[in-house]
Amino acid sequence: MGSSRTISDGASFFSRFNPGGLTRSLLISIIVLSCSAGASAVFAQEAADGASLSSIEETVQRSLSSPLARFQQRVDTFWVLLSAALVFFMQAGFLMLETGLVRAKNTINVAMKNLFDYLAGFVIFFAIGYALMFGESADGWVGTTQFWLSDLTKGDEFAVFLFQVAFLGTAATIVSGAVAERTRFSAYAAASIVISLLIYPLFGHWTWGGGWLGELGCVDFAGSTIVHALGGWVAGLVLTAAALWPSTTACR
């Protein structure tokens, strides 16, 4: 009797479950994450500035142009953080767009894919991806330093890291939209991890990180190639693989 009641309660819970509630929860989470990261970067900037001053006399001896330079640096950092927050909000837009275009039974699958992009991408990029992208270059192919952000000390550097995480999530989400209802969650999770760990960091290093493409004069405008085109190329490869082996990846 108790078992049947438990099953009934569980069925009642899922019958009342509203995907819109998940969307709102994800949106709130993105806002909190953006605000927390922004506050952390500002505090880190303050700490770095404070550590650079050995005494009050150093402050007095600064030239008149120094306060203006410090103000400009703070404005630049704030602009990068604001841009990162806007890109984070794009993720919520992608989620709502994709859940609105798929069948009701696949809304949670699509929502989890969008959430997974940042959950896994942030950890991977923090530990390894940023180093591969912006570390000291090995013959223009891959970065070899700054693992776990070990060499980052200033607030503006952490702001750049946050901005790159936002771009990383965007690149992965492009793939999510292309393969909606075409792959299982496990297959997409594997693709997202590969993008976060290797594809985005390496291609970013070749251009933004001082790699061989940058040395050849390649200039990327606002991520048009590194983020958007890269996401499209990966999506094409995933769809090609799904077409060749449809029975193992189709989402029914």
**What pLDDT shows up at residue 69?**
83
Q: Is the dihedral of CA 30, 155, 77, 132 positive or negative?
A: negative
Check if the beta carbon of residue 215 is closer than 8 Å to that of residue 140. Answer: yes
Kindly give the confidence (pLDDT) of every residue in the chain, 252 residues in length, as a single tens digit, with 9 standing for 90 and above: 544 454 444 444 444 445 455 555 555 555 555 555 454 444 444 443 444 434 444 544 454 457 888 888 889 999 999 999 999 998 889 999 999 999 999 999 999 999 999 999 999 999 999 999 999 999 999 999 999 999 888 888 999 999 999 999 999 999 998 888 888 888 899 999 999 999 999 999 999 998 999 999 988 888 889 999 999 999 888 888 777 775 554 445
Show Cβ contacts of residue 247 under 8 Å, excluding neighbours closer than 6 positions: none
Angle of CA points 173, 104, 230, to nearest 5°:
15
**What pLDDT shows up at residue 219?**
87
**What pLDDT shows up at residue 81?**
94
The CA distances from residue 218 to 84, 203, 206, 213, in Å, are: 23, 12, 9, 5
Element (H, E) at 138: strand 137-138
**What pLDDT shows up at residue 85?**
93
**pTM above the 0.75 mark?**
no
Task: Of 119, 99, 100, give the one whose Cα is nearest residue 109.
Answer: 99
Which domains does the chain show, CATH number per domain? 18-249 (1.10.3430.10)
**What pLDDT shows up at residue 154?**
87
